[in-house]
Structure 1
Amino acid sequence: VVSRLSWQQDGRNEITRNKRSTKQCWCRAFLRRRPPYIVLSEDDQVNQSEYWNSNSKIISEEENTENAISTNKVPGFGYRHVQIGLLFLMLAIGYAMRVNLSVGIVAMTNGNTTENHDVPWYPWENKSVILSSFFWGYICLQIFAGELGQTYGTKWLAFVAMAVNSTACFIIPFMAEWLGSPGVIICRVVQGLSQGFFFPSVHNILGKWAPLDERSFLSMIAFAGPSFGTIVSLIASGAIASSWVGWPYAFYIFGGLGYVWMLAWAFLAANTPALHPNISKSEKEYIEKSLSVKTQVVPPTPWKKIFTSVPVWAFIITMFGQNWGYSTLLTEIPNYLDKIMNFKMTSNSLLSAAPYATCFLLSFVFGAISDFLINRKYFTRQFARKFFNTIGILGPAIALVVLSFLPDSQSTLSVIMLVIAVGINSAAFVGFQINPVDLAPKYSGVLMGIGNGSSNIFSILAPLTVQFVVNPEDDKSLWRIIFIIAACVYTAAAIIFIIFGSAEVQPWNDEEQNNEKEEENKEKV
């Protein structure tokens, strides 16, 4: 026997292992229900006869840690929920400012959307270029955003990003009047650059604030922000654009909301639980034990191992497929409803918002179901990620194929298919979307920056493909080509994630700790 063990059992059948080392592990078991446990680390060995005579079951140190965490009383509402709420609002406001141009461009290029003839409008022909320009900036800084957030903290990076984004949104009407469509494109590129910090910031905060048992649901709350912001923006922008004040106020209002969020974020947000001045001790310990937080030292990013990781590439490729389909729907639904289904501005904005309302509501359902199935051990975390990702990616693919072959008379069924295509996509939020936090909690912001930044090349290409293929815009057969292309890309992404995706923490996430263990083992040998 390598380790010298001594066992002590009290009247409550509690077994404690004492070792010469400073580490002490314990667990409690009731003999009537199950045999007591002997908790061992990886380098411990036990004589077989000693184990059988003790009537005990050997479990790993890692498993014992998870059991100990699960038996502790979970704190109720706390500052971890406040952080998630702020992330929800950041994404909601960000998407509201991203999406308002999808409706606004219809009013900006059509003088008949409002009775106020003093509201300016412009005969622009490059609408798809304007809509795609957001993504020109969006793809540039995300990798650096994740690394900067990992190194210097997320709080003030997100604050500055929202300030720049809100200002660029606020001045769009002035730039349109002054420089025309190039002025709007400049503002959209700047918005894309600043919003490139949003998702890496969300993943950095989730990796440090979301306990394992609550990860799916808390993440889903944050990721419901884009759907909520899209709903509000589409409805409000349509109503504002058709009102007396006209489309410029859609940009003023949402830009102003960004400044309000900045105040709340400055006073309530923190990079980690340890840095929050008002968090309770019990909540802080609960989060840190769940995430096995041992140090606040920021390790160097293992770039080589990240870029040679198969699960990371599965996540990135899945995100490529998601962004193609999602951006096609996000930017072109109002145009499709206008040119093919001939809905008026108000009806157009309401119907454009309906799919995202469904997505918003279903996101909470899928998040709760995912956590339930994982925590009750019905699904492993890896199977749950692949299961919900398949629903969220293949569901829209099927709906788009059906939509492309529906006759013009089936307008109601066409809207239903659009609702399904966007709504069921929310299942993917507990699939690939949360995957960086599974693979590498320490580097989740970096992974999200790599995936979201590179994959948004497809977010640029998708609207441009629509402009190239759908000419004239009232030819439904050309829209069929667009929807079938999106369905094929969705399907390929789903298959790749099923085969190569993973939800296991990658070894390079704890490279320094693994190296320390190897050195300890060498010293013992």
Structure 2
Amino acid sequence: MEVAKKSGSSWGVRHVQTFLLFLALVLAFSMRVNMSLAIVAMTDTFSDNSFEWSIQTQSVVLSSFFWGYVILQIPGGELAARYGGMILITISIAVNSAVTLIIPVAAYYGGWKLLCACRVVQGLSQGFLYPSMHNLVGKWIPLEEKSRLGTLIYAGGQLGTAFQLLSSGFIADYWGWPAIFYVNGTLGVLWTVAYVYLGAASPQTSKMISAEERLYIQTSLGHVGGHKKLKTPWKSIWTSLPFISLIVAHCGQNWGFWTLMTEMPSYMSKVLGVDIKANGAMSALPYLSIYVFSIPLSFLSDYVLKKKWLSVTVSRKVANSLGYYGPALALIGLSYAPAGDVTLAVTLLTVVVALNAGHYTGYLLVHIDMSPNFAGTLMGITNCFANIISIIAPLAAGAILNDETDASEWRKVFFVSSAVYIASNTFFLIFGTSERQKWNDDGETNETAAASDRLGTAGGSHRSYGSFDRKVFSP
């Protein structure tokens, strides 16, 4: 296996796939969050081509993306397993790009109702995003490289959010708010063309990969002798209290994250009096911070597990507590910040979002710890419930904010988010676990089970961390 080892230390096609998937998440999240800042410019009565939409109407527009997004989460996992992740992720970005390009026309001629319809379609197509991403990562990224390459891919969402918030204000100021959507849509089309030519569903189907690199990836992941698909144990999953704690944790994460994501630009504009260009830059800073903070945190988590300083379960819970209790306390501090103190408010918002990086090495990896065989299905289920919360959170904020210029009403919004963070993480601490669940191996052959014992779980192995016996994968 010297060839495989050599391939593991060199640049290869898997790195090209990693970069393309990273860009996919950058663009997907850019198109997901562009409305958060664009709607500030779209409803600015002092600018041309503005709309007179109430705060409640704006909240409906902001939440409409998630109406479609929740529908295809669970089916997306099954479709990815059957047809592969490449075709689904291509459809996802292509549809999002096309719809993004027509949003300005839809808003002009159809008002907020047609705009909502466009956002629903975007949400529907992005329902394929994470199931297909899990599928592709599982086929392309070797076990030894999963932490660093996986972190690079998934952190692309935060970088896309930051870039979008940073650039939207300047684009709207110089070329008008429609240009925000035209830029996003054009970049998405360019990515789609590039991925059709350079992307591949797996090393087996890639026309560019070398035989040595293909063998290295297949050997690492145990795919040399084929991969057995197991029947999903639905009853065991739905009756598992540790899994239910994952649903609660994921819902708590989405409530806090998407409340801030959708409402932060309005808070900056209405309470702090920040203009559109500075609004975007200040709104982007927290998401740049979570991107930067997530990388060393993920390596630290791997190091702690490698040294066996903490068990996997304790490590996940410590990281998740940092990601939930930290933002909860910072939000309480933000609610009492003086209304005109922009520096303090932005500092606290940055702390809130940066600390939230703990969830990447917290509950998010527990799906894989509990059941590596069904991690994609578990993620589809928790993401479905969590994004129902993503619909409710902006609507709840809109219901609370009768006067969006009143700092005391924003205090209520922040208090609710703090309470949700604290309650959801406490439930996870009590009932959550990273122990491998019995139903993960139901129906698994002895040979597959032996391979699993040697591989452990990606991102945080119970049995082996960082090294494994290659002989078990010999053809």
TM superposition score normalised by structure 2: 0.87
Structure 2 residue aligned with 1:523: none
2:444 to 513, 516, 525: 513
Change (3 A) 1:432 1:215: farther
Please give the residue correspondences for 1:44-123 in structure 2 after superposition, counting only pairs within 5 Å. 74-113=8-47, 117=48, 120-123=49-52
Structure 1 residue aligned with 2:372: 441
> How far off its partner does 1:282 sit?
4.4
The whole-number CA distance in structure 1 between the counterparts of 2:424 and 2:136 is: 27
Secondary structure at the residue paired with 2:443?
A: helix
The whole-number CA distance in structure 2 between the counterparts of 1:508 and 1:272 is: 27
Change (3 A) 1:405 1:517: closer
Question: 1:387 and 2:321 equivalent?
Answer: no
The whole-number CA distance in structure 2 between the counterparts of 1:316 and 1:89 is: 28
> How far off its partner does 1:140 sit?
1.0
Contact 1:139/1:196 (CA < 8 Å) preserved in 2?
Answer: yes
Contact 1:355/1:420 (CA < 8 Å) preserved in 2?
Answer: yes
Aligned-residue sequence identity (percent) comes to: 42
Structure 2 residue aligned with 1:309: 240
> How far off its partner does 1:386 sit?
2.1
The whole-number CA distance in structure 1 between the counterparts of 2:72 and 2:29 is: 18
> How far off its partner does 1:287 sit?
3.5
1:329 to 248, 260, 264: 260
Secondary structure at the residue paired with 1:279?
A: coil
> How far off its partner does 1:382 sit?
3.1
Q: Point out 4+ residue stretches in structure 1 off by more than 6 angstroms.
A: 515-518
Change (3 A) 1:84 1:167: same
Structure 1 residue aligned with 2:138: 207
Structure 2 residue aligned with 1:288: 218
> How far off its partner does 1:393 sit?
1.7
Write out per-residue CA displacement over residues 191-244 of structure 1, whole angstroms, 9 at most, x where no aligned residue: 11111111122222233333334333322212211111111111211111111x
> How far off its partner does 1:456 sit?
0.9
Structure 1 residue aligned with 2:207: 277
Structure 1 residue aligned with 2:453: none
Structure 1 residue aligned with 2:188: 258
Contact 1:381/1:503 (CA < 8 Å) preserved in 2?
Answer: yes
The whole-number CA distance in structure 2 between the counterparts of 1:396 and 1:209 is: 34
Contact 1:164/1:191 (CA < 8 Å) preserved in 2?
Answer: yes
> How far off its partner does 1:111 sit?
4.2
Structure 2 residue aligned with 1:129: 60
Write out per-residue CA displacement over residues 417-465 of structure 1, whole angstroms, 9 at most, x where no aligned residue: 1001111212211222233333333433222211111111111111111
Q: Tell me which structure has the larger Cα radius of gyration.
A: 1
Contact 1:351/1:415 (CA < 8 Å) preserved in 2?
Answer: yes
Letter aligned with residue 287 of structure 2: Y
The whole-number CA distance in structure 2 between the counterparts of 1:461 and 1:144 is: 22
The whole-number CA distance in structure 1 between the counterparts of 2:145 and 2:139 is: 12
Question: 1:228 and 2:162 equivalent?
Answer: no
Structure 1 residue aligned with 2:423: 492
The whole-number CA distance in structure 1 between the counterparts of 2:319 and 2:396 is: 29
Relative to total residues, which structure has the larger helix share, 1 or 2? 2
Question: 1:358 and 2:292 equivalent?
Answer: no
Give the unaligned 5+ runs of structure 1: 1-67, 519-525
Secondary structure at the residue paired with 2:444?
A: helix
Contact 2:88/2:129 (CA < 8 Å) preserved in 1?
Answer: no
Please give the residue correspondences for 1:35-46 in structure 2 after superposition, counting only pairs within 5 Å. none
TM superposition score normalised by structure 1: 0.79
Q: Which moved more, 1:291-300 or 1:343-352?
A: 291-300
> Which one scores higher on RCO, CA 8 angstroms, separation ≥ 6?
2
2:333 to 378, 402, 425: 402
Write out per-residue CA displacement over residues 126-152 of structure 1, whole angstroms, 9 at most, x where no aligned residue: 111111111111111111111111222
Change (3 A) 1:135 1:517: closer
Structure 2 residue aligned with 1:60: none
Contact 1:321/1:489 (CA < 8 Å) preserved in 2?
Answer: yes
Contact 2:286/2:354 (CA < 8 Å) preserved in 1?
Answer: yes
Structure 1 residue aligned with 2:173: 242
Contact 1:327/1:462 (CA < 8 Å) preserved in 2?
Answer: yes
Contact 2:331/2:348 (CA < 8 Å) preserved in 1?
Answer: yes
Contact 1:154/1:204 (CA < 8 Å) preserved in 2?
Answer: yes
Write out per-residue CA displacement over residues 7-44 of structure 1, whole angstroms, 9 at most, x where no aligned residue: xxxxxxxxxxxxxxxxxxxxxxxxxxxxxxxxxxxxxx
Letter aligned with residue 374 of structure 2: Y
> How far off its partner does 1:281 sit?
4.2
> How far off its partner does 1:517 sit?
9.2
The whole-number CA distance in structure 2 between the counterparts of 1:285 and 1:312 is: 35
Two-structure CA RMSD over aligned residues (Å): 2.3
Secondary structure at the residue paired with 2:121?
A: helix
Give the unaligned 5+ runs of structure 2: 450-475
Contact 2:45/2:52 (CA < 8 Å) preserved in 1?
Answer: no
Letter aligned with residue 354 of structure 1: L
Letter aligned with residue 480 of structure 1: R
Change (3 A) 1:412 1:470: same
The whole-number CA distance in structure 2 between the counterparts of 1:331 and 1:278 is: 41
Contact 1:400/1:484 (CA < 8 Å) preserved in 2?
Answer: yes
Change (3 A) 1:82 1:502: farther
> How far off its partner does 1:514 sit?
4.5
Change (3 A) 1:508 1:435: same
Letter aligned with residue 129 of structure 1: V
Contact 1:213/1:371 (CA < 8 Å) preserved in 2?
Answer: no
> How far off its partner does 1:248 sit?
0.5
> How far off its partner does 1:72 sit?
5.6
The whole-number CA distance in structure 2 between the counterparts of 1:498 and 1:514 is: 33
The whole-number CA distance in structure 1 between the counterparts of 2:430 and 2:202 is: 34
The whole-number CA distance in structure 1 between the counterparts of 2:71 and 2:244 is: 19
